Amino acid sequence: MDIFERIAKDSGGPIGQYRERADGYFAFPRLEGELGPRMVFDGREVLCWSLNNYLGLANHPEIRRVDAEAAAKYGLAAPMGARMMTGQTRMHEHFEHELADFEKKEAAYLFNFGYQGIVSAIDTLTSPHDVIVYDNEAHACLLDGIRLHLGNKYKYRHNDMDSLEQKLQVAANVVSETGGGILVITEGVYGMTGALGDLAGIVALKKKYNFRILIDDAHGFGVMGPTGRGTSEHFGVMDEVDLYIGAYAKAMAIIGGFIAGPKHVIEYLRYNMRSQMYAKSLPLAIVEGCEKRLEIIRSEEGDRLRSQLWKVTRALQDGFRQMGFDIGPAEACVTPVHVKGDVVQATNIAMDLRENYRIFCSVVTYPVIPKGMIIFRIIPTAAHSLEDVEYTLNAFKEVKEKLDKGVYDGTEVPNMAIPYNY
């Protein structure tokens, strides 16, 4: 069958099958206005809980000033070309030095795009002789990198150290034959559940097995730990984590990422990582903006912003738990409100929240999570207030009462599609 014909006949997948009713509202919604707790959706103001702008840096006046001045000074083209050819600058090198120092590693390497960088790093680090052992709830970017691996790969049950040890035993037997090594991959913070990867448990297994640890700490960088160095700092295992990956898209509120680790490993990545060797260098305006963001994260102001973030987070999570809501093992800022229901109920609740309570949060259903469950994913930030928390908790209390009464029951997803206006 012709590829396009097959696609035309395809329902669109578990989510895409609803696209004619969901586009622009439930899927691909358009949030407008200044980034923050108050934004505009479908022409009306909403209380927004869907941005990973943890420290509120997206609209920090000093950062906005530096971003504007850097864009005016350099434009968005410079430097042209990949770093290996024509895109290397002293500013890139300096920022990498600052990141390595912050994460207490020998060296760091910038990614021009976080997702792509992680995929390529995993691909570059491992040979067909090596074995990858990874958490079964790993993010899509990690899974895509793991899929490229030509050697053996084994997944362990989420945060289950007994399961991990079983897989390590198998992996150890394999590499004894192949002569390869073992790479264990986990997340620092699981972005859907707010659970923390059991870094302490993984590190403890190093006493029995020979392996290296790579963590994806996109949601932990700048947020977790006493000084924002991430989940490895939170657990006190920075020295034992071999490779640390951070992303700018969360706490820094800008595009890009980095990997930090031993100098000889980072040098190897510089000369072999295809996504950076054959792609344009991170623009100077972004690098300069990132430097300013890291400066704030490392400062007393960064401490204050983290303190405010955790104040809001704890008030929100404590409130949900006290009202009897299931938010799972959330320990980080991500707060998933679990509700029993189907896709129809999920969309009806989301519509009620947006239309009547003017609350915008992301809704997650099957296939991301098992059938019969709904997650309303709430992301607190330092820019939110305790008044925002109180209003949201009261709204969800009413929503739960309506759900129990069957108000949200139905047979089909409501048609809320918003057409594009070109």
Q: How many CB atoms lie within 10 A of CB 162?
A: 9
CA–centroid distance for 25 within its chain: 22
Model pLDDT for residues 273-325, shown as the tens digit of each residue: 999 999 999 999 999 999 999 999 999 999 999 999 999 999 999 999 999 99
What CA–CA distance (Å, rounded) separates 166 from 363?
Answer: 35
Whether 68 and 13 map to the same domain: the answer is no
Alpha-helical (H) ranges within 179-262 are 199-204, 231-234
pLDDT at 410: 84
DSSP 120-182: HHHHHH--TT-EEEEETT--HHHHHHHHT--SEEEEE-TT-HHHHHHHHHHHHHHHHHH---E
Is 209 in the same domain as 280? yes
Report residue 263 CA to chain centroid gap: 26
- For the sheet with 152-156, list strands across it: 107-111, 257-261, 243-247, 212-216, 182-187, 131-135, 152-156
- For residue 198, is pLDDT > 80? yes
Domain range enclosing 396? 3-54+300-404
Whether 420 is in a domain gets the answer: no
Residue type at position 179: G
Predicted TM-score (pTM) of the model is 0.94
Residues 6 or more apart whose CB falls under 8 angstroms from that of 138 comprise 146, 155, 185, 186, 187, 216
- Spatial contact of 144 and 123, defined as CB atoms under 8 Å apart: no
Instruction: Kindly state the average pLDDT of the residues 155-163.
Output: 96
Residue at 422 is within a domain? no
Gap between the Cα atoms of 176 and 180, Å rounded: 7
pLDDT at 1: 87
Q: Which residues contact 180 (CB under 8 A, 6 or more apart)?
A: 127, 128, 129, 130, 131, 151, 174
42 torsion bin: left (phi>0), alpha (psi -120 to 50), beta (else): left
Q: What is the mean pLDDT of the chain?
A: 94
Interval 360-391: pLDDT, tens: 999 887 767 767 788 999 999 999 999 999 99
Beta carbons of 336 and 193 less than 8 angstroms apart:
yes
**What pLDDT, on the 0 to 100 scale, is given for residue 422?**
66
Residues 380 and 266 occupy one common structural domain: no
pLDDT of residue 267: 97
On whether both 269 and 321 belong to a single domain, the answer is no
Count of domains for the chain: 2
Within this chain, do residues 103 and 171 fall inside the same structural domain, yes or no?
yes
Higher pLDDT, 10 or 100: 100
Select the more confidently predicted residue: 39 or 410. 39
Tokens of 371: 């059938």
Question: Is residue 254 located within the same domain as residue 288?
Answer: yes
Q: Which two tokens stand for residue 248?
A: 């700018």
Q: Tell me if 421 is assigned to some domain.
A: no
Partners of residue 154 on adjacent β-strands: 133
Do 235 and 123 belong to one domain? yes
Q: Are 79 and 30 in a shared domain?
A: no
Average pLDDT over residues 239-244: 97
